[in-house]
A and B are shown apart, each in its own frame.
Chain A
Amino acid sequence: MSVLTALARAEAVESGRAQPLTTVRHTHVAERPLVLVPLALAGEAAAPLAAMVGTDRGDGRLLAVANPRDRTQRFQFVAQLAKIFLTYVEGCSRAVDATHTAKLRYAEAPQVLVPNRGGVEFIRLLGRSTRFRRTYGPHPVHRTVPLLGQWFTFLRERADHPGSAMLLAMTEVLGEHWATGQSGLEDANLAALLGWIDPPDGLDGAAAAELAEDPLRWPPAGPSTDPTFDNEILAPALSAYARAADPQAQSRAESALGGAIREQLEPTWGLMWRAVDLLRARPAGGSVEARWAIDRDVFTVYHMSLAEGTALPQPRRDSAVAAAGRLDRLEREQARYEAQRALDDPLVMAEFRLSGEAFTGTVVSASPNRVDTSGKKAALRPHITVQTEDPVRLEPGALLVSPARLSQQAMVVSVSSVDVVLELSKGMGRSTKQAPPGSVPEVGEVVTYGPVSDAYQPPGRFPSREDTPWTHGGPPPDYQPNDIDAAEDWS
């Protein structure tokens, strides 16, 4: 935990309310997000019990499995879920982004919101258990089932990409924007977290969070259910359904089960939409739109490749080359995301200022038309002197960027206890004699310089799959789809 976060948490305890960690919202919130609150049956991996799903807070569809251990009913449930989800995805691909003409980009992309990390994991497991299923042969399923599996797998993989907003765990998004007065573990409880951020009238955050820990008032946000609910309500309801002798008794048992599950899901459903409102109330950071455009590009490509039947297979495990390539991409995206957050948000940049890697100050002198003639060609290299009270710990030669002038590079020339001298290059037009007005900070201007840059980093170079070296087991065998793809080691 950084010093600023520790301070914000202490202030949250003192004031009884969560404190903002950022000045802007760093995550895109779609106009029509799909909220999904899944519940799983205890004791079995990825056995869906129920889900509440929808794009409208007044119209959450409740899906439930009367006998979660019955594989046929399980895939019927998945087919119902797939129908809702695929309709939503198709809705996102209806309009094309008219402002972007270089290549086709849909105007929207799916955004799935789940309550917590467990929900993200549930999507992974459900995707894995459905994407290898077949619509023919032994144990056939509806054609939408493997399709949903492919989409869920796609979403879960996107969720690993820093800055992507296609599949989000609500507790994590809120935790990036607010600091509460409770531990990280307690923050994973959506009801308690919202209790700190937006306590009901007359209560402070700590009291609201304590109330939220009562599973009768606020049932767990899934996918795990409350053990007392399991024992006292769910188990009798499931066995009532199993015992039902005639169709009438069966439908009575089914609706009793549905009612019980609805009571478990509805509070969380309401919390999810409240959290969406809280996020929407904050202004979006400068680069949020650009990151969402990347999501939309990725969505466009995947949607079209699925439609054309050219989508790449989604193996259960990455090969050596694929794993290394993916890690390289994730690391570059992580660096870029962190840089963009700092450049968009003075409160994030403050972390760098505290550690002496960045500073804010007033320009006290500037020589905008200074020309460096020491090299082969004369070049415009203005100097500015910035007076600052920040504890600067930079060495001469360090390269910095200002959020106000992203295309310009500043090199530290000298540092004293009161000011920093910077030499500027780039971002000043073509002239080698005179900098265009506004391109060099003027005397009196308040400027910030930090060590982050969101410049593009080229990808690493990796051998091809066929050239996997002996150190990594040599080239992997080619994949041939077959009937037992869906079988797991333990199934």
Chain B
Amino acid sequence: MTVIDDILTDFGQAVGRGVVVDSPPGAGKSTLVVRAARTMAEAGERLMVVAQTNEQVDDLIDRLASAAPAIEIGRLSASTYVPAQRVAKHGSVTVSGAVSDVQTSAVVIGTAAKWATVTEGTWERAIVDEAYQMRSDMLLRVAGRFSRGLFVGDPGQLDPFSVVAVERWAGLSWDPMQSAVAVLLRHNPDLPVHRLPVSWRLPPSAAEVVSAAFYPFTPFEAGTRPADRSLEFSVRAIGGDARVEASLETARRTGWALHELPPRHTVRTDREAVAAIADLVVNLLRRGPIAYSEHAPEGRPVTADRVAVGAAHRDQVAAIRLALADTVAADVTVDTANRLQGREYDVTVILHPLSGRRDASAFHLEAGRLCVLASRHRHACIVVARAGIAELLDTHPSAEPVHLNVPVRFPDGWEANQAMLAHLSTVDA
């Protein structure tokens, strides 16, 4: 793991104010964070760790406490926080709302929102996890607490957003709507930027496509060989919709499937698309899928908790949940792209953000949205969409206003969408 060693050396040095690590989906970002925290703590250094959500904080604590039970961990939390089971089971963890209670802990972990309320104490080093999901105004509020930072995140995922649409700050180097890393690098262009080059989650069939579409200038590879991963069905298809079965079979064989519905302009909660997703998920589980991978060469059943459905909008999520409510797939995770960030499943079924739309708005074209949806799986991903997306894209080239002084972001959403679609249409049905 020479990359990780390089990163730790850079971060451990006394010179320089920080290190940025770009990590594609499933490239071992959490492993890096845990290892860095452990190395620092074992060298006797007090460390603060900033994550973005309570879920992420709890995951990190669980992994760090399991890896190094001797390290004292402090968990900063809001007064309403109820410790999750996976946090409470570790004796080395102190949960408190006041920073004075965890002052002596070797590692103090909390969400950015909680750290923003802390007014006392400084730390020499900090690890900021999922830094591309963090808005720069949040970094402004927590940056006073530490002198040196390790910023880890996935540049291809969704940019942070705001409920207010104001162009007032466009072009400013400290635009509060930008991600923390974007602002950090504009003010400190000489910070070293490292890249994790291997995705351990995505199978070879997906790594190549996702890398080319969403990381055009910073490619990565799959950490596994095609022979390491396979998906089999233990139950034969009986009756059922032939097209659904065909899509499942294509996905099993190639790792991708485009389940295309007849072209039509629809409202967001397209009933036929929702029904198709429900059909696909229910039939998938009925076929008793078994996943063979480097972790489980003997095969492991793909149960409802290893399957996820992703969509762009909350009302779509609600409609799909309702459709799955009283089926074998009731326990399948259904969520928006924003909430699926950082999660991992064996098989995913996604509703294409542009399905059934008459226009391609910036929200629906955002590369990060499709990237999150198309990179959550270890084995296969089925995309459900109305036909006609290619034509929609062709009639809606990006028409966003261009602001002076705003660095161009790659990839371009329009281009990434075309690249994904081009690949999906070559997967034989």
Contacts and interface: CB of A to CB of B under 8 A. Distances in A.
Interface in A1-58: 2-3, 6
Range of interface residues on chain A? 20 to 34
Nearest to A356: B318
Given A327-B177, A471-B188, A320 B140 contact: yes
B184 interface: yes
A85 B315 CA distance: 46
B141 interface: yes
B315 A355 contact: yes
A327 B314 CA distance: 24
Given A469-B143, A469-B144, A472-B187, A335 B163 contact: yes
A301 interface: no
B79 to A, nearest CB: 14
A462 B119 CA distance: 10
A461 B177 CA distance: 17
B172 A323 contact: yes
Contacts of B140: 320-321, 324, 462-463, 468-469, 471-472
Contacts of B164: 160, 162, 327, 330-331, 334
Interface in B126-161: 136-137, 139-141, 143-144, 149
B166 interface: yes
A393 B322 contact: yes
A460 interface: yes
Contact of B168 (A318, A328, A473): A318
A176 interface: no
A456 interface: no
Contacts of A355: 314-315, 318
B125 to A, nearest CB: 14
A479 interface: no
Given A470-B187, A471-B184, A324 B318 contact: no
A376 B291 CA distance: 51
B352 to A, nearest CB: 18
B414 interface: no
B88 interface: no
Contacts of B267: 3, 6
B17 interface: yes
Contact of B183 (A2, A356, A472): A472
A160 B136 CA distance: 20
A317 interface: yes
Contact of B119 (A319, A323, A461, A473): A461
A467 interface: yes
B126 to A, nearest CB: 11
A148 B33 CA distance: 55
B175 interface: yes
Contact of B174 (A6, A393, A472): A472
Interface in B180-239: 180, 183-184, 187-188
Contacts of A326: 168
B81 interface: no
Interface footprint category on B: 35 or more
B166 A463 contact: no
B290 interface: no
Interface string A449-491: 0000000000011110001111111000000000000000000
A317 B173 CA distance: 11
A137 B401 CA distance: 38
A461 B184 CA distance: 20
B395 interface: no
A220 to B, nearest CB: 20
Interface in B98-126: 116-117, 119
A470 B140 CA distance: 9
A473 B318 contact: no
A318 B268 CA distance: 38
Name the residue among B149, B169, B172, B267 with the largest chain A CB count within 10 angstroms.
B169
Contacts of B172: 317-318, 323
Contacts of B143: 469-472
A356 B325 CA distance: 14
A472 B183 CA distance: 7
B301 interface: no
A335 B164 CA distance: 9
Contacts of B92: none
B116 A318 contact: no
B121 to A, nearest CB: 15
A446 to B, nearest CB: 25
24 contacts: A3-B267, A160-B166, A160-B168, A320-B174, A323-B137, A323-B169, A327-B166, A327-B176, A327-B177, A328-B137, A331-B163, A355-B315, A356-B318, A391-B322, A393-B321, A460-B116, A461-B117, A461-B119, A462-B141, A469-B140, A469-B144, A470-B187, A471-B183, A472-B187
Closest 3 A-B residue pairs measured CB to CB? A469-B143, A324-B137, A320-B174
Interface of A: 2-3, 6, 160, 162, 317-321, 323-324, 326-328, 330-331, 334-335, 355-356, 391, 393, 460-463, 467-473
Interface of B: 17, 116-117, 119, 136-137, 139-141, 143-144, 149, 162-164, 166, 168-169, 172-177, 180, 183-184, 187-188, 267-269, 314-315, 318, 321-322
